[in-house]
Structure 1
Amino acid sequence: MRIAVISDIHSNIHALEAVEKDIREKRADKIFCLGDIINFGAHPKETLDWVKENCDITIKGEHDIFVSNPEEVFLTNPYAIQAADWTYDQLSKEDFDYINSLENFYEEAEFILTHDEPSIPGTYHFLTSLRDAKETFTCFDNRFCFYGHAHLQILFVKDEDNVFSEKTGRYKIKENQQFLICAGSVGQPRDRDPRAGYTLVDTEENFIEFRRVEYDFEKAAADIINAGLPEVFSNILKMKKD
């Protein structure tokens, strides 16, 4: 099976449509969404509708929860709160019903889907270090654990008692290995690469591939400004490596 894993879309329909095209070209059988569908960007309704129509399994992130039920998540970032207030006004009761119907954790025999730290979902810890990965591997037996939240593409591999971080864009899966996979961000990547990011996993051809997709990030950034949303979210889309 070939699975496309998307996360942290953050109301960026321009990035999402470009990723959709790439997913179709790569002939993915399933699409999993790891949450933070909305907030920050200018097109929350469109992104929610796309996820409802196209994703086979969807879980929610803290920004989805905060927009629909702010008392359930504690956010301190004033820009995120401002954007959430604007986002709330763009959505309908049906949209909120859909968000509230989503779980924040999903598990099958072969894989786990979580938005954040899988050992204690809901803490919204940024799992980016090898030390944290080693601890987290002790908390699950499934072969794959997909997570988001960090807005980065990160692959940790457990091979018997050895845990390491794999830096290649495409990794060949070997037998008896376990994987912690941060899928990256479709709509707000934080690695100074403005291209949209997602992850492709093929359990028959046995590979994990981090995909990056070109899209009109200038248009997405302009839409944020034109909507009156905080400029910081527009600026992030345009950040590039020096």
Structure 2
Amino acid sequence: MRLALLSDLHANLQALEACLAHAQAQGAERLAFLGDLVGYGADPGPVVRRIMDLADEGALVLKGNHDDMAAHPPAGNTTLGESTAWWTHEQLDVVQRAFLAGLPMTVQDDRVLLVHATADEPALWRYVYDAQVAALSLEAAGKLEGVRYVFGGHVHRQSLYYRGADDKLISFVPTAGVAVPVSARRHWLATIGSVGQPRDGSPKAMYAVFDTTQAQLTFHRVAYDHHAAAEAIRDAGLPDFFADRLELGR
């Protein structure tokens, strides 16, 4: 089975549709959305509606920190995410807010554990920026029977870690479009990047496909009309910074 892994959509409808079309062309048979469906972008309502429809068709959907903030906006306004949480909340209807509020923090599907941030303390929203945090996440996932793969998002970058023969955690830099053998004899952790707001210097959307039969993981980059997505942010009256990020990929 080919499982398409998509995370950090951030209310970017243009990027979402481009990645869904690309995943279909890659033969994806199931979809998994690893959180942060909303936040920053101009189309939270349409994006959540689209994901709800896909969930009805069998897609797996997790909660991210921006989904949590949109469902329950914070009283403060100290971060960029918090600055748009109330705006996003007001763009969603009651059913969409309830959908976000009810999403799970993690999902185990056979040997795969899906999580937005880390498996050890998912509600703390820690970023897997290095091998140390990746090791903590893998250690927690290893306590779950049968889990060999941990897939997450949150960091808006694509990365891959695995345990070597000496049990040391090794990092691997993936190349877009190149399948990586990920034998179940080892333990693996991947951050699959951001569909809606890449931050590695390229505006191309990110997602990945896990082929469970071949034990291969392929990271993808997808061109889309990021200028239109940026313009939609400006037209919505959201901070220009969010639009600039889409155009610069930072």
* TM exceeding 0.5: yes
Tell me how far apart the structure 2 counterparts of residues 47 and 124 of structure 1 sit (CA, whole Å). Answer: 22
Tell me how far apart the structure 2 counterparts of residues 197 and 58 of structure 1 sit (CA, whole Å). Answer: 17
Tell me how far apart the structure 1 counterparts of residues 201 and 139 of structure 2 sit (CA, whole Å). Answer: 32
Number of positions where the alignment pairs a residue of Structure 1 with one of Structure 2: 239
1:49-198 aligned at under 5 Å gives the runs 49-55=49-55, 56-71=59-74, 76-77=78-79, 79-141=80-142, 142-160=147-165, 161-169=167-175, 170-198=179-207
SS of residue paired to 2:183: coil
- 1:17-57 deviations in Å (ceiling 9; x for gaps): 10011011011111000110011101111111111122411
Tell me how far apart the structure 2 counterparts of residues 238 and 53 of structure 1 sit (CA, whole Å). Answer: 29
Structure 2 residue 243 is matched with structure 1 residue 234 = yes
- 1:151-179 deviations in Å (ceiling 9; x for gaps): 11111112341321111323112341111
Tell me how far apart the structure 1 counterparts of residues 149 and 100 of structure 2 sit (CA, whole Å). Answer: 25
Amino acid aligned to 1:211: H
Amino acid aligned to 1:115: H
Distance 1:171 1:10, change over 3 A: same
Displacement after TM superposition at 1:121 (Å)? 0.9
RMSD, aligned α-carbons: 1.7
TM-score, structure 2 length as denominator?
0.90
Distance 1:70 1:239, change over 3 A: same
The residue aligned with 1:33 is 33
Displacement after TM superposition at 1:12 (Å)? 0.2
Q: Contact conserved, 1:59 with 1:105, CA < 8 A, in 2? A: yes
Q: Contact conserved, 1:11 with 1:42, CA < 8 A, in 2? A: yes
Tell me how far apart the structure 1 counterparts of residues 209 and 36 of structure 2 sit (CA, whole Å). Answer: 19
Structure 2 gap ranges (5+): none
The residue aligned with 2:227 is 218
Q: Contact conserved, 2:114 with 2:150, CA < 8 A, in 1? A: yes
Displacement after TM superposition at 1:134 (Å)? 2.6
Structure 1 gap ranges (5+): none
Amino acid aligned to 2:157: L
Distance 1:24 1:233, change over 3 A: same
- 1:103-138 deviations in Å (ceiling 9; x for gaps): 112224411111112111111111110222233322
Judge which range, 169-178 or 95-104, deviates more: 169-178
Q: What is the percentage of aligned positions where both structures have the same residue?
A: 30
The residue aligned with 2:2 is 2
Tell me how far apart the structure 1 counterparts of residues 77 and 153 of structure 2 sit (CA, whole Å). Answer: 17
Q: Give the 4+ runs in structure 1 shifted more than 4 A.
A: none
